[in-house]
Amino acid sequence: MKLYFEGLYEELLPGIRAIATELGIELESDYALEENEGIKVVVGRASDGLEVGYVPGERKACIRYERKHQFYRGLGLVVQHARKRESLMRIEKQQFDSIGPMFDLSRNGVLTVGAFKTMLNRMALMGLNTVMLYMEDTYAIEGEPYFGYMRGRYSAVELKEIDDYADMFGIEAFPSIQTLAHLEEFLKWEPVKAYKDTKGALLVGDERVDQLVERMILSASAPFRSRKIHIGMDEAEELGRGKYLDRYGYADRIDIMTGHLNKVLDVTRRLGLKSMMWSDMFLKLAVGNGGTESDYYNTDTKIPEEMASRIPKDVDMVYWDYVHMEPKHYASVISNHRPLGCNLVFAGAVWIFNTFGVNYGMSLNASDVALQACKREGIREAYATMWGDDGNEGNPFAALLGLQLYAEHAYSEEKPDWSVVAERAKFCTGIEADAYLLMKDLDEVPGSEPDNRKQSNPSKFLLYQDVLLGLFDFQIDGLPLNAHYAALEEKFQNARVEGASLDWIFDVPQKLSAVLKQKSELGLQLKRAYDNGDKATLRHAATEAIPAIAAAVNELRIAHRTQWLRMFKPFGWEVLDIRYGGVINRLDTAAVRLLAYASGELDRIEELEQERLPFSTVNRFNSKGVGWSSHYYRMASPNVFFHVMNPF
């Protein structure tokens, strides 16, 4: 498709050229336009929002935009309708001043600069205008060689390149760091023990820590144009309970928290930065005894006036909520934040954490409700977090359908029609919405709650659990999971589109399904055969079934390695290599023991004599789904992986 641009478009040309190939467009001169029947696109400025028009018969289009990023959404809409030769006349007013994803770059998966640019291309077409880079220790600090050591940390040059590319589309990139807790991966190093209060929290009040925090803020913010910075401070329940307690004695955590916050804000103010922070600790502290996550979500929580008066008002509070689907819930918790007196920002989620898939059932429903509530409550800034907890098996590119939902909410006063979201996702990413939704079925299996509202993650625990130990077998007994994954493998195969630029995102889930169609119920089958004295079945498992599963696991590992190195820096892949190796080696040991028993060399297999118990109270027998675990090492074995005598 050939386009000729006329009007105010010079500043937009670098961005147009960057996405021209993906859009399938060529930029033409006026003469070539006449010869090749291209489309004339008149570009201008608007005073309020985005105005887009296209008339097929006249081969003319118009894009008028208020803010730079809106132009690229408008360009996408023109091309989308021109491909189908459909007329277009649309006026859109942006409902959020800032909306976009937060990428977790701290849980082993550090996006390469090239992959980040690919993601930004998609975001530009959607009309998203901000991106938050969550970096606990994955940015370089001069004089701190252990900060992000062997973790794929970004250099200042790399961060500037990401920022430059984002700015080309009018997308604001900015850092999200931790200035209090969630610093386990830095504080684990013995040479930096002077900074440590507890396993993950800094030693508040120490002069060296104050200097470190200032260098953190300066190093993280310097490469970016934006003056925004997220300073973290969430989930710091252990604050003041380690070396701080030994050195200074007991202190109320609200005193420690507000004292440290003021020091951090002194730095950000001096550097001309606008700070935001997670709000959960204040709501947890408001209920006493530190509170829990459930207290944070408690709609009855009240911020005491005395606490509210001590919290600086020039820091934005980020209310995170990833799971709720009731409009009244969001209204109540937003109301709970009002006494803080700070500007309120919302963070929802596209659930790619602790899974190989995407929990679209919960993500799409919760996000729909949350974003509508934000519009009603006047919240003007919203983010879609994509965490990478426990090894980052998930894929942020598989979450693009969720980002499309956020984008369409941003340009619609009401809930956007799903047909619009689906059509836009196909245009902006090249993948059908229904194909994305297959990702949810990796975890939304028989026995799950509707829309997987209880966050079951069988795609992960069924792969990693040991076939002789069967830690999750009690919870899946009686469920046709082999058949489920066999059908899912076929669906993934049928959804593939050869030549589509993002078709590669289906390779890992397809091969994972090929593993789980054989492995999901194997532990139950082995236990049943053993209890029945069926040595023939055990021998067949050892000589046929288990070697086939091991071969399928290795194919999955190779596909996952290819996917990882396509998206992420190599650091962190070794964790998954080790996990896959563990699965294969344990399958080998299982085959050896089964064959020894079947041939009479062993008189019993102790693992199979053990009673199968529920893994946890999170199971389908009390309507909490088929099961959930946040940690690989708990899925793989009930025995000790590591033991820390002193976690502080």
What integer pLDDT is reported at residue 8 of this predicted model? 85
| Residue 33 pLDDT > 80 | no
All domains in the chain, ordered by first residue: 2-92 (3.30.160.230), 98-247+254-264+275-439 (3.20.20.80), 443-636 (1.20.120.670)
- How does pLDDT run across 135-166, given as a tens digit for each residue? 999 999 999 999 999 999 999 999 999 999 99
- How does pLDDT run across 399-458, given as a tens digit for each residue? 999 999 999 999 999 999 999 999 999 999 999 999 999 999 999 999 999 999 999 999
The residue-averaged pLDDT of 308-313 equals 94
- Return the closest-CA partner of residue 443 out of 425, 426, 459, 467: 459
Average pLDDT over the chain, rounded to an integer:
95
Contact 419, 437 (CB under 8 A): no
Residues of the chain with pLDDT > 70: what percent? Answer: 97
| Residue 290 pLDDT > 60 | no
DSSP secondary structure string for all residues of 273-312: PEEEEE-HHHHHHHTSTT--HHHHT-TT----HHHHHHS-
Sign, CA torsion 128/270/184/629: negative
The residue-averaged pLDDT of 71-98 equals 97
What integer pLDDT is reported at residue 299 of this predicted model? 83
60-65 and 39-45 strand pairing: parallel
What integer pLDDT is reported at residue 238 of this predicted model? 84
- How does pLDDT run across 499-526, given as a tens digit for each residue? 899 999 999 999 999 999 999 999 999 9
| Residue 289 pLDDT > 60 | no
What integer pLDDT is reported at residue 103 of this predicted model? 98
| Residue 586 pLDDT > 90 | yes
What integer pLDDT is reported at residue 236 of this predicted model? 82
Model confidence at 57, in pLDDT bands (50, 70, 90)? confident
| Residue 31 pLDDT > 60 | no
- How does pLDDT run across 368-407, given as a tens digit for each residue? 999 999 999 999 999 999 999 999 999 999 999 999 999 9
pTM of the complete model: 0.97
β-sheet with 39-45: strand ranges across: 26-27, 2-7, 39-45, 60-65, 50-55, 88-92
How many CA atoms does the CB half-sphere of 433 hold within 13 Å? 17
What integer pLDDT is reported at residue 648 of this predicted model? 61
Neighbouring CB atoms inside 10 A of 413's CB total: 11
Model confidence at 176, in pLDDT bands (50, 70, 90)? very high
How would you classify residue 152: left for phi > 0, otherwise alpha for psi between -120 and 50, otherwise beta?
A: left
